[in-house]
Structure 1
Amino acid sequence: MLSSLMMNYSVDTLKQRIEAAHLAGFIYQHQQHILVLQEPLTDQGETLSFFAQHETTSDQIGLQFAVKLDGNQLKFLIGATHSNQDRGYEIGAGNLKGEQKAFNLLYAFYNYPKAFYLVELPLFSNSAQLEQAIQEQLFSRPELNFIQTATKTNPRGQQVQWIKDYIVQQSLDMKVRIQTALL
C-alpha cells in the first residue's frame, strides 16, 4: 500500500496534505522536489522550537525537517545547524551545496551557524532505522562530539545523553506527523 501511495504524490499534493495537517506555519518549496517545514507547529498550532544548547560548551544544534520526492520514493530530511562561540567562521546560506540549499539558516541563535549537516532516509522507515541514520549521518561526526557530553540525570538516577535523545525524539515525532498527514 505504501509504495502505491507514494507513486500517486506530486509535490503539490504533498504540500496540500502537509498544509492541511497544520504541520508548519510556512512550507518552502525548493526546486521541484523538496518541501521544508518552516516554523513547525505543535498539534495545538503553537510554534515548536527545535533547538538545544550544551550547558557547558555553549554549542547549539538547530533542527529543520523536510520531505523530498525522489522519483517514486518519499524521503525524510533532517537539517541540523551547529553553532558555537567561535567567531572565526560563520556559514551563510550561500555556502550550502546541493540540496542543503533548501534549508534556511536564519535561526534565532545566540551565535551564527558554523556548520550544516543533512540526514536523509526513507520517510516510511521505522524508528530503529531513523535512529541508525541519525547515528551514522550526524552523531558519528567528530566535530559534533559535544553531543556525547551533554548528559543529565533522569528520575531513575541514570545518566542520559539528552541532546542525542532530544534530536532523535523530535525527528521521530515530526516524521510520524508527516507520515500521518500523507496517509
Structure 2
Amino acid sequence: MKLQPHIKYGNFMQSIKPLIQSILLLLSVFILNACNRNEFIAGKAFPMSTLQQLMTQNNKTIDIKAKFLLINFWATWCIPCRKEMPDLQNLSEQLDKNKFIIIGISVDEDKNLMQEFLLQHKIYFSNLNDPKQILAMKKLNIQAYPETFVISPDGIIIKRLTGYHRWSSNKQITILKSLYLNKKELSTYKMDTNVDEKI
C-alpha cells in the first residue's frame, strides 16, 4: 500500500521535531547570554552589591569607596591569567592606592590553589575567590579568562576587556593614572588610547 504524501510529510515533521526544539533552545540560550553580557558593558553600572557579597563570603574587607577599580577575573588553570598576574602586581605598585585599587577574582573551585599561586608568585594585591562563579558567570556571563573591568568611583564600567594584556607597560600605567590625575568627568573616559594594548 502506497503512503499518501501528507502522511509522509507528517512522519518527516515528527522525526525532525526534536532537532527543531534543540535548535530553538540553543538559540534562546545564545540570545539570553548576549543580553546578559550587554547589560555589563562600558557605560553601564557594575554589580557592586554582588561584589560586596563576595567580599563577605571571603571574610575580606576592601575599601572601594570613591576609588577607581580594576577587577580581573582569572584562574590558576588559565595560562594567560598566570602570565598576567605579575604584571598586575607591578601595576598595583605604580598606582595611588588611595585612588585606584586592583582586585583579582579567582574562579578556582579549590581556594587553596589560588592562595598557593599568590604566595608562590608574590602577588599581594587583594584577591577574592568565586568558586561557584556567582559574579563571574551567573551575573557577568564571562565566557573566557582573563576578563577585566575598569570601573569608575561611582560604579560605572569604563572598559571591559577580554584576554591577556600587558598591564605594567608605561603606556598602560600612564593611561590608568590619567583617570584619577586629570579628574575628568565620566563622559570623557573614552579609553580610546589603547588601554587594551597587547604584546
**Structure holding more helix per residue:** 2
User: Do both proteins adopt the same fold according to a TM-score greater than 0.5, normalized to the shorter chain?
Assistant: no
With normalisation by structure 2, the TM-score equals 0.24
Asked which structure has the greater RCO (Cα within 8 Å, sep 6+), the reply is: 2
With normalisation by structure 1, the TM-score equals 0.25
**Structure holding more strand per residue:** 1
